[in-house]
């Protein structure tokens, strides 16, 4: 089983250096680079927005507005990990966009006849989370780690055979037993062990790359 047959000859094009990506993001017209950036980080932004109390539509707006905010800053942005991590910076931008969405909410109030109002009902304005309380918490860090794993898996998926990724996904992600995967996909058990181990190492290596050089 040759690793060459499993890997696209354009592997380096699929995995550009993070600093190279940063340079290319300065050009808003570079759609391929922005698509790569979006694919890597949109799930994190969306999930954090939902967990902050936003609706699905509001969370989608936060994703769009966060990406736009990043785009506007890119021409003059200087990435200096010694001063601020990219993770911290993106979390900060995301938090500001979440706060913007919460502030746009207008409490729906209409007069109701005296005696018909349920005194136990919480006024709408009191049900809106306080923006000042939206400090990043450990849940944000957990979401960030989960997002890195998802992004790493997508990158690995691009450069291996579809049938090999399916073996890895069913075995390592879905947690099916080795024998069950082998029967389902009509491969031998040894092949399932080998592919799962190899791709797990690839995913771990890719997560490491994203942590070291997120841009």
Predicted model pTM: 0.64
Q: Tell me, what CATH number does 155's domain have?
A: 1.10.10
Residues 206 and 132 in one domain: no
| pLDDT confidence band for 140 (50 / 70 / 90) | confident
b/e burial code for range 29-64 (CB count within 10 A of at least 16 → b): eeeebbebbbebbbbbbbbbbbebbbeeebbbbbbe
Do 33 and 100 lie in one domain? The reply is: yes
Indicate whether 70 and 132 sit together in one domain.
Answer: yes
Rounded average pLDDT over 154-177: 94
pLDDT of 138 reads 74
95 shares its domain with 184: no
Kindly tell me if the per-residue pLDDT of 182 is higher than 60. yes
Within this chain, do residues 28 and 131 fall inside the same structural domain, yes or no?
A: yes
| Ranges of H-type helices in 160-188 | 162-168, 178-185
Mean pLDDT of 108-125: 46
What's the average model confidence in pLDDT over 8-25? Answer: 46
71 contacts: CB under 8 Å, gap ≥ 6: 25, 28, 34
Same domain, 95 and 39: yes
Average confidence (pLDDT) over 210-214? 77
Q: Are residues 100 and 195 in the same domain?
A: no
Q: Per-residue pLDDT tens for 26-58?
A: 666 667 778 888 888 999 999 999 998 999 999
CA distances from 74 to 23, 26, 68, 79 (A): 9, 5, 10, 10
Percent of the chain with pLDDT over 70: 67
Counting the structural domains of the chain, the total is: 2
Residue 111 has what pLDDT? 52
Residue 88 is predicted with a pLDDT of 83
Q: Within a domain: residue 62?
A: yes
The per-residue pLDDT for 86 is 78
Q: What is the pLDDT of residues 64-113, one digit of tens each?
A: 999 988 888 877 766 666 776 778 888 889 999 999 999 888 665 555 55
Answer yes or no: do 81 and 176 share one domain.
Answer: no
Q: CB neighbours (10 Å) of residue 201?
A: 11
Cα–Cα separations (whole angstroms), residue 9 to 2, 6, 13, 35, 96? 13, 9, 9, 21, 41
Residue 129 lies in a domain: yes
My answer on whether 161 and 206 are in the same domain is yes
Domain coverage including residue 92:
15-107+123-136
């Amino acid at each position: 089983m040759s690793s060459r047959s499993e890997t696209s000859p354009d592997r380096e094009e699929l995995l550009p250096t993070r600093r190279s990506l940063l340079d290319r993001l300065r050009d808003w017209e570079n759609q391929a680079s922005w698509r790569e950036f979006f694919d890597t980080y949109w799930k994190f932004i969306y999930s954090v927005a939902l967990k902050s109390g936003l609706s699905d539509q509001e969370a989608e707006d936060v994703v769009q507005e966060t990406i736009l905010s990043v785009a506007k800053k890119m021409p003059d942005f200087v990435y200096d990990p010694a001063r601020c991590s990219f993770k911290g910076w993106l979390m900060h931008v995301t938090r500001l966009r979440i706060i913007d969405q919460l502030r746009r909410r207008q409490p729906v109030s209409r007069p109701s006849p005296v005696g018909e109002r349920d005194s136990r009902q919480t006024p709408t304005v009191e049900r809106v989370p306080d923006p000042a309380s939206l400090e990043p918490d450990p849940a944000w860090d957990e979401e960030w780690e989960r997002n890195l794993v998802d992004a790493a898996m997508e990158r690995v998926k691009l450069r291996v055979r579809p049938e090999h990724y399916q073996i890895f996904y069913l075995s390592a992600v879905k947690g099916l037993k080795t024998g069950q995967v082998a029967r389902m996909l009509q491969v031998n058990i040894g092949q399932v062990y080998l592919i799962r181990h190899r791709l797990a190492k690839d995913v771990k290596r890719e997560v490491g790359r994203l942590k070291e050089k997120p841009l």
